[in-house]
Amino acid sequence: MDTKISVVENGALKRVGKVFAEAFGQTPALLVADGNTLKAGGFETLRSLKEAGIVVRQYIFPSNPQPYADEYAIQIVHETLKQDNSIAVVLGSGTLNDITKRASSELDRPYMVVATAPSVDGYTSYGAAVSIGGFKQTLPCAAPLVVLADTKVLCKAPTDMTASGFGDCMAKFTAGMDWILADLLGVHPIRKDVWDMVQTPLRKVYKKRSSIARREASAIGILFDALSASGFAMQIMHDSRPASGAEHLISHVWEMEHLSKDGLPVSHGFKVAVGTMTIRYLYDQLKMVDINSISLIGGESWADRERAVRSFFKDPKVAEQTVVIAKKKFLEGEALSKRRETLLSIFPTLIKRIDEQLPPYAELKEAMRMNGAPVSPEDIASNLEGLRHAVTGAQMIRDRYTVLDLFYELGIFDQALESLQLM
């Protein structure tokens, strides 16, 4: 694991300098921030670094327009870092962290993040979500060597950012359920240590959902810890499976299509929150499926499947990539019959596991609402049609087994889409 030091506590900003020196010695530091994050914790961070005898340079992005994680921003931090042997200390959340993570990794240097909002699990993940040439992608790079978060600062983060983090955290319920399904099916066995790493803190967060809604410092710390833990789990597995299932695939489709509200891109956690409610709902629908009505033979032909994928993705490059993935997981003839047999044989166990793994739909919805996270496509400037579209695309884009593949392989995907109108 890349991350060696993680400090989450009240007053942690006072320790930035000491922790930095412990991790990197007396190397100079480059503080990367923007106008807003500088206000949130810049003064204390700088003072703490200077008190520890660290020479600090600064690169401050303007706060308006907000910094965007693209090749230009990465280049700026890269060039600024290159002027000497500085180690970056980024004060910020998702975007600034991704920019700094990538720039540091290009120079093969470790870095430290001082988090300002419990908004994503990406702080501690090993990749950076950036847009290169207009295409959003996750570029490989090392996770931060040091993560530090002051709960006093996290509590004052903008409401939407914390709501976003809460949504991204709740996604671990459905991601976990998809992993249980893949495990039962024998396509992706659960690794118990990694499972516990994500699912135990998730349950702590859920228990504290009212306190998080009230922005109580200790509860906000629990939310941040749970998000960090997801990142650590991904570092260990070098795979996002422990933290991401069909709910994230739904959000990826919206991401590709630049879903925005009031002219601003809808945050990752918000898209994921709606994806989570959708998948939670679909798992309930699964309970109502009459398995005796499922035929072991018959299914879509590859020609029809390929046509469907090509017409879904307007960008020819994306369509091409997706056809390859779709082909890889496409089953027909005897292979499909065998898969259906297996699915039907695990069905009773799967149904039993749903209520053990997932909170009741209505309760989860209330938890999201209470914390300011969206629960319906309308909340994020989409609608039923948009949701059905995203769910359809989500089943095509990745070779990761989820409940959407189960619906597709059993030949009841359209029924699942249809049922969404009552969500």
Residues that bind Zn ion (CB under 5 A): 168
Closest CA to 214 of 253, 257, 278, 162: 162
For the bound state, the minimum distance from the C-beta of residue 119 to Zn ion, rounded and expressed in Å, comes to: 10
81: left (phi over 0), alpha (psi -120 to 50) or beta: alpha
For the bound state, the minimum distance from the C-beta of residue 278 to Zn ion, rounded and expressed in Å, comes to: 15
Report the residue number, 30 or 171, with the smaller CB distance to Zn ion: 171
For the bound state, the minimum distance from the C-beta of residue 169 to Zn ion, rounded and expressed in Å, comes to: 9
Report the residue number, 13 or 367, with the smaller CB distance to Zn ion: 367
For the bound state, the minimum distance from the C-beta of residue 348 to Zn ion, rounded and expressed in Å, comes to: 31
Q: CA-CA distance, 396 to 197, in Å (whole number)?
A: 29
Q: Radius of gyration over alpha carbons of the chain, in Å?
A: 22
Return contacts of 198-203, CB within 8 angstroms, 24+ apart.
Answer: 198/172, 198/226, 198/229, 198/230, 198/233, 198/242, 198/243, 199/172, 201/225, 201/226, 201/229, 202/169, 202/170, 202/172, 202/173, 202/176, 202/226
CA-CA distances (angstroms) from residue 141 to 97, 105, 350? 12, 6, 36
Q: Write the DSSP assignment of 170-213 as a string of letters.
A: HHHHHHHHHHHHHHHHTSS---HHHHHHHHHHHHHHHHTHHHHH
Report the residue number, 49 or 222, with the smaller CB distance to Zn ion: 222
| Closest residue to Zn ion using C-beta atoms | 168
For the bound state, the minimum distance from the C-beta of residue 178 to Zn ion, rounded and expressed in Å, comes to: 14
400: left (phi over 0), alpha (psi -120 to 50) or beta: beta
For the bound state, the minimum distance from the C-beta of residue 48 to Zn ion, rounded and expressed in Å, comes to: 30
For the bound state, the minimum distance from the C-beta of residue 202 to Zn ion, rounded and expressed in Å, comes to: 13
Report the residue number, 168 or 405, with the smaller CB distance to Zn ion: 168
Q: CA-CA distance, 267 to 119, in Å (whole number)?
A: 9
Report the residue number, 44 or 247, with the smaller CB distance to Zn ion: 247
Report the residue number, 150 or 168, with the smaller CB distance to Zn ion: 168
Report the residue number, 168 or 409, with the smaller CB distance to Zn ion: 168
Closest CA to 364 of 300, 280, 295: 280
Closest CA to 127 of 149, 101, 153: 101
Report the residue number, 12 or 143, with the smaller CB distance to Zn ion: 143
For the bound state, the minimum distance from the C-beta of residue 131 to Zn ion, rounded and expressed in Å, comes to: 17
Q: CA-CA distance, 297 to 313, in Å (whole number)?
A: 29
